[in-house]
Amino acid sequence: MTQTIAADDAARARPLPSVAEIERRRPALPSLTGARWWAAFAVFVLHAMVFLPVYPFQWSALFRRIDWFVPMQLGACGVTFFFVLSGFIIYWSYKPGTDVVGFYRRRVLKIYPSHLVAMAAFIIATGGIPWSHLHVWLPNLFLVHTWVPTWTLVGGLNVPSWSLGAEMLFYLTFPLFLPLLRRIPSHNLWLAAALIFVLIVALHTSYYLWVDGPKGITNEFAPRLRAPHDVSPHFEPHADPRWFTLDTMQPPRSYWLSYTFPLTRLPEFLLGVLAARMVLERQWRNTRIWPPLLALALSFAATWFVPVNYKMGVLLLLPTTAVIATMAARDLAGIRGLNASPRMIWLGNVSFAFYLVQYPIMVAVTRFLIGGHSYGFWGWLGFATLCLVLSVGGGALVYYWVDLPIMRNFARSKPKPAADAPPVARAA
């Protein structure tokens, strides 16, 4: 089967374009657009287990078996994919001579409007938050909440927005790192990527050895189960009104440092930048997708046997980067697979908004439909499916009514008309 697919790929492939051809006009990479959906969907599946408090199902043996196969690192794999892909795409689309202020404007406009819409949706879904408690919402508003190791900040308001704090750091520092990254000779890109990975491993090892937090290999971060109960609550803990009255709640320090602290995730973004250079400069030529996918699957399976610090990204990082680079190389070679289909490209385009609105939708479904009732597995599956449909629809609305119009109208500065342009001659 694999040999047949490889033969088909070889038959469909065209020679990779030269470096000069790519630099003149960097082509679109539809497979990477479509693949964004799978990363966002992985996060959704994890959140459907964690954030839909359906009882008594969540106290059943079946739930525990499902939860064993859908651990925290499933969502973490999706986040790692997004961070590496962010570096790849930012470098791929960055044109020489780009105005830094214009770059910052485009990045802020890409993130902030959708973030504000999702934040407003969450507040409406919960019925309101205590505005006088500035520490509850102000850091989240400005996406600086992950810089402080406090659950009421990291897990406050729209939970998925924690990753945007890291993205903002990536965008802020990219113009600063770019000259240094461009000075690396092509033949040393592999060495540079290896050094970045060694740095990442060293960081997580230091967190594991010298910072307080879980040291075992158990998948620690299970759903926040209530005491045995047959009736579902109206609020998941992070959306419960009582959550917003807490002054502080400390997470395991090593978890915060290894997973949500923006500086720790920055090297993953830089690895994505180097991967883009490798593809652009023909240092990465592999177009066979199955080897990196197999490596990713094996790495994911290995997360059951390593400490928490390594579960959440380190083990998945290299195969994830290889998958991204290979899909880009396949696009350049003209190999169009499932991810490059129109339907997958559409899902990829709405995936960012989908990622942001999924949690507010789960909060609303829990509050108005699940709370006060008792459901088993089929009830949970039905509500999870409903949340999926509503999240895709809500993500599409945000993409077409907020993201797309803003990016089209405000992301790029409009060319100024020449001051001394001669009048247009009238046709005789």
Q: What is the pLDDT of residues 135-159, one digit of tens each?
A: 778 999 999 999 988 877 777 789 9
Q: Give the position of tokens 């999924």.
A: 358
Give bridge partners of residue 375 from the DSSP assignment.
56
**Tell me, what's the pLDDT at 26?**
79
What does the alpha-carbon distance between residue 21 and residue 134 come to, in Å, rounded to a whole number? Answer: 52
Specify whether the CB–CB gap between 211 and 256 falls below 8 A: no
Listed by start position, the domains of the chain span 2-410
Tokens at 39, concatenated: 């990363």
In this predicted model, what pLDDT tens digit does every residue of 110-139 receive, in sequence order?
Answer: 999 999 999 999 999 999 888 887 877 899
Q: Which residue has the higher pLDDT, 327 or 7?
A: 327
How confident is residue 4, by pLDDT bands cut at 50, 70 and 90?
very low
How confident is residue 3, by pLDDT bands cut at 50, 70 and 90?
very low
Tokens at 115, concatenated: 């973030």
What does the alpha-carbon distance between residue 185 and residue 390 come to, in Å, rounded to a whole number? Answer: 48
pLDDT of 218 higher than 90: no
pLDDT of 241 higher than 60: yes
What does the alpha-carbon distance between residue 410 and residue 112 come to, in Å, rounded to a whole number? Answer: 13
What does the alpha-carbon distance between residue 82 and residue 104 come to, in Å, rounded to a whole number? Answer: 19
pLDDT of 7 higher than 60: no
pLDDT of 8 higher than 60: no
pLDDT of 211 higher than 90: yes
pLDDT of 35 higher than 90: yes
